Amino acid sequence: MVEIKLENLTKRFGPTAAVDGITLTVRGGELFFLLGPSGCGKTTLLRMIAGFIMPTAGRVLFDTRDMTYVPPYQRDTGMVFQSYALWPHMTVADNVGFGLDVRKIAGPERTTRITAALALVQMETLAQRRPNQLSGGQQQRVAIGRAFANDPAIILADEPTGNLDLNTGKQIIGLLKEMNRERGVTVISATHDLKMLDISDRIIWIRDGLVEKIEKRADIRIDTGEIHG
């Protein structure tokens, strides 16, 4: 299980600080949620952890290893995007195997990993369909399967229930919980969905690129859509 440490992590776009000097530790095997309104810096923070965005200042460490400028394909992470980010011309199976292809994993091992990932997200029977033949929930399952196929130590999920109805969203949350609890994967999910709080170990409330507060699940009380310490 991999611990994630952020040290004074900052990202500026021109004069605007999307993330403004965040320091925190996510424990190995933790189910951790970034909570806050749209535009608060959640997605930027996730993308810096994944390596898709380079920080303006600060560091990202996995355990004791400095990963700040390590490219995404060399990080032991899987990314789940709100928009699914599936290749429309590829089948479900090939979308799930895309990350394996980037890592030069081929032959029987590639097949085994794709099969296991499809089984996890219950998409085996739809392996030869293309994204435009799937519902939104099915597409998000494929995105989670793609992240899992690389056998990552860390899953980073950006608003994984944002485009889904209530029941489908609960199913997707259940998949993330299974990967965390049964497989020991460290999960960080950005969300503004209060339903996610029921399964979290801790949440961090972000506003305007800053940490507003960090809470354990037992300390969270929801009242008419608000979060209280």
214: CATH: 3.40.50.300
User: Domain ends where: 124, 151, 178?
Assistant: 151
What per-residue confidence (pLDDT) applies to 64? 92
Pairing of strands 57-62, 31-35: unpaired
Asked if residue 124 and residue 103 are part of one domain, the reply reads yes
What per-residue confidence (pLDDT) applies to 213? 86
Asked if residue 27 and residue 124 are part of one domain, the reply reads no
Asked if residue 161 and residue 54 are part of one domain, the reply reads yes
Q: Cα(123)–Cα(81) distance, rounded to whole angstroms?
A: 18
What per-residue confidence (pLDDT) applies to 45? 95
Asked if residue 71 and residue 93 are part of one domain, the reply reads no
Asked if residue 88 and residue 3 are part of one domain, the reply reads no
Asked if residue 169 and residue 61 are part of one domain, the reply reads yes
Residue 43 in tokens? 């997605």
Residue 83 in tokens? 């928009």
**Number of domains present in the structure of the chain:** 2
- CB of 197 closer than 8 Å to CB of 222: yes
Full domain range(s) for residue 189: 1-76+152-229
What per-residue confidence (pLDDT) applies to 23? 95
* Residue ranges, the chain, pLDDT below 50: 222-229
Half-sphere exposure for 129 (CA within 13 Å, toward CB)? 13
CA distances from 72 to 68, 152, 181 (A): 10, 12, 25
Asked if residue 69 and residue 159 are part of one domain, the reply reads yes
Asked if residue 69 and residue 9 are part of one domain, the reply reads yes
Q: Cα(183)–Cα(124) distance, rounded to whole angstroms?
A: 20
Residue 213 in tokens? 């507060």
User: Domain ends where: 151, 166, 197?
Assistant: 151
Asked if residue 167 and residue 216 are part of one domain, the reply reads yes
Best CA proximity match to 26, nearest among 160, 179, 196, 153: 153
User: What is the model's pTM?
Assistant: 0.82
**Helix or strand (DSSP H, E) at 115:** helix 107-120
- CB of 202 closer than 8 Å to CB of 216: yes
